[in-house]
Chain A
């Protein structure tokens, strides 16, 4: 039989109709959905045994305890540790996303370690009489810091530098003792001290926030005193006057922008609703004077004992305040920015360098920080890879010792700063942490808190190896509070960086730039923080600025406009948004390293259209 085309059509048509009565086409139809559910681009989450690890967050001095949910060895979620004596289960947004940091796109992968070592030793040998080879440690008090000090003690012209810190000595603010807290712009509820600890104490004290901007702390304070920018000292003086002779002395009161009545009532509150505590962001002598007057010293401001160190370490270089180093005297500067309490404006550091080709080597996780100014940038491990301890936070009354135990292995090619710097002096730094732990154990004071069971045991009852093991599993040593601390002599803060308060404002810089989000400048941020900085306007993103509409109009910039922010240190591009909550004459600018170099905490500034 011969088939015509007609037969063919019949056949095809018939089979199509027939197929409709089989499950095949319907199955196919439903599967296309599943197919489009996971197309090639979309990663499949790895499965595996769920484990829990504990460690401490090294991103800021708070060193909050962290519980990591791991698939196999890979952390997939971080959380606080409920019931922890210091962090009380709290963890901030930066800490919650820290397990992303090892995969940050802008992370450093390798650097010229050997070359840098040679360059350093060469430069040290070139050091003149009044010149130094210095290590700038942006988180002093660590075991690594001791390594640096020991190394610098034996290195020729060695110098160990630390950022200016309040009262030089180890002093703690005891929020739990305070009934009234007056804060001069200290971000008390936005990352100050140990967030969990502050929140735990918050119920018990009344918070008065004196600050030009309505910061997060100000908006949640019991009372917000919207003072003029830079009027902190004046207000402190004025309050001191009231305490001294019942009324504020006129010049100060006028400078603050508050009414005498306001000042008086605050002063009375501090005096009568004690114990009081006065905090500030920088170090203002008047503030400490005020604390002395209010009798806070020894009650809400207490001395904290040092965490024990091995005797053999005591032969170490002294801690030198960066501010007190003569300008142009540092030839070699090694900066450890792998962990950082706060970002110091580069201008502050640069002044100290010798004018003719100084050598700057930095240990960094990315090129965003001081790496921009360094000859050699050595890639350092980043939390949660690092193996480091975190010194006690400013609000922890007792000495503590806790370790940021690595949750993931650092990739190859990372340089360990303490081993590098120790190497300069031929010091083995590898097991410094262990030695310190043993020293603490020998001292036999205090208790050991273990996260797993959330229980504390006296150190005496723990064997050294168990102690060390516990520390590596997120355990935390707490010193016993010592009552003898009351007799501690408090050093008044050195009258640090002066240009901030240089009296007469130059008229070409009509505005005051006040930086916010300063923590974002110091700590590395996970890409996921875009939720806060880009996908919502919850926080002002780096290099974004908010101006009062009137001020913006005066500067000739509008909502969303690109503009240039200029200070005596230079200029940077910013994106402007309007906010009638910002006081006139103020630029509220979000800190990034660039902005910090420009403005520090605050500076005279000018905004011009880009």
Chain B
């Protein structure tokens, strides 16, 4: 059975605690920041942005928007541009995969991605002495000079496949959830198979309050955001220079 894994993120529930970000880093062996790193040179496969309605105190209203690889379902900008097939879309899951060992670090895919979901290893990965003992055995750390990004916790997916195989079942969407989904204390992030109508993202796709980022560029993202606030829906569309001043933190 072909799966199309997707996510729904309830912006109204997200407290911006950042649990998903660290859980992701723990799961995928992303190293702590080099002291030279900043929010533009760091590696955060999932990154929570604090967005606001563009108004000043006291009318300022904020919300938190976790942004990860949107797992584009249709002509993913990054996949077609990679000169050496380091980006592969798994037909069985619809997951846009990145193969660091194939990547030569040309960063063309990063320029191509409108969601800034791809991250480059600007430094050699380094852990404080002894901390390398806490690395997840299911994921290989990446070396300097390659691009990496969210792959819906490929390690977990693989483990789930093996479990399913051991139990003689074909893998179901419920068999695994990415680390960020597991870590979210408010359950704002939900994961599932869009091909199964009752899965959370499939329901979100039908939900009137749902939107996707930059839908109009036609990449068919598989991450559905949900909010009842109108101004939050505005983040799905192109930037508006009128609000060119500080529009976000995170």
A578: Cβ under 8 A from any B Cβ: yes
B40 to chain A, nearest CB (A): 9
B88 to chain A, nearest CB (A): 16
Q: Is the CB of B18 within 8 A of A37?
A: no
**Contact status of A216 and B16, CB under 8 A, knowing A105-B128, A580-B246:** yes
Contact flags B14-25 to A (C-beta < 8 A → 1, else 0): 011111011101
B236: Cβ under 8 A from any A Cβ: no
Q: Is the CB of A103 within 8 A of B137?
A: no
The count of chain B contact residues (Cβ–Cβ below 8 Å) is 69
Q: Is the CB of B249 within 8 A of A41?
A: no
**Contact status of A528 and B141, CB under 8 A, knowing A96-B19, A100-B131:** no
A214: Cβ under 8 A from any B Cβ: yes
Question: With a CB–CB cut-off of 8 A, which chain B residues contact A41?
Answer: 124-126, 143-144
B234: Cβ under 8 A from any A Cβ: no
Q: For residues 219 through 236 of chain A, which have their beta carbon under 8 Å from a beta carbon of chain B?
A: 219-220, 226
**Contact status of A579 and B246, CB under 8 A, knowing A33-B102, A527-B128, A538-B18:** yes
**Contact status of A531 and B21, CB under 8 A, knowing A45-B139, A189-B15:** yes
Question: With a CB–CB cut-off of 8 A, which chain A residues contact B125?
Answer: 41-42
Q: Is the CB of B182 within 8 A of A79?
A: yes
**Contact status of A47 and B137, CB under 8 A, knowing A77-B26, A103-B128, A530-B42:** yes
B44 to chain A, nearest CB (A): 5
> Which of B60-68, B89-97, B190-198 forms part of the interface with chain A?
B60-68
Q: Is the CB of B15 within 8 A of A190?
A: yes
Q: For residues 17 through 56 of chain A, which have their beta carbon under 8 Å from a beta carbon of chain B?
A: 33-34, 36-39, 41-43, 45-48
Q: Is the CB of B56 within 8 A of A580?
A: yes
Question: With a CB–CB cut-off of 8 A, which chain A residues contact B48?
Answer: 536, 538
B8: Cβ under 8 A from any A Cβ: no
Instruction: With CB as the reference atom, state the residue of chain A lying closest to B63.
Output: A219
Q: Is the CB of A74 within 8 A of B134?
A: yes
A59 to chain B, nearest CB (A): 13
In the bound complex, what is the Cα–Cα distance between A532 and B43 (angstroms)?
Answer: 11
Question: With a CB–CB cut-off of 8 A, which chain A residues contact B133?
Answer: 46, 74, 103
A90 to chain B, nearest CB (A): 4
Q: Is the CB of A534 within 8 A of B33?
A: yes
Question: With a CB–CB cut-off of 8 A, which chain B residues contact A528?
Answer: 22, 25-26, 30, 32
Question: With a CB–CB cut-off of 8 A, which chain B residues contact A532?
Answer: 18, 21-22
Question: With a CB–CB cut-off of 8 A, which chain B residues contact A506?
Answer: none
A529: Cβ under 8 A from any B Cβ: yes
Q: Is the CB of A214 within 8 A of B134?
A: no
Q: Can you sample 24 A-B contacts with CB below 8 Å?
A: A34-B101, A42-B125, A42-B141, A45-B136, A46-B137, A74-B133, A90-B185, A92-B19, A96-B183, A97-B22, A103-B133, A104-B128, A214-B57, A531-B42, A532-B18, A534-B33, A535-B33, A535-B41, A535-B43, A538-B16, A580-B57, A581-B60, A583-B58, A584-B57
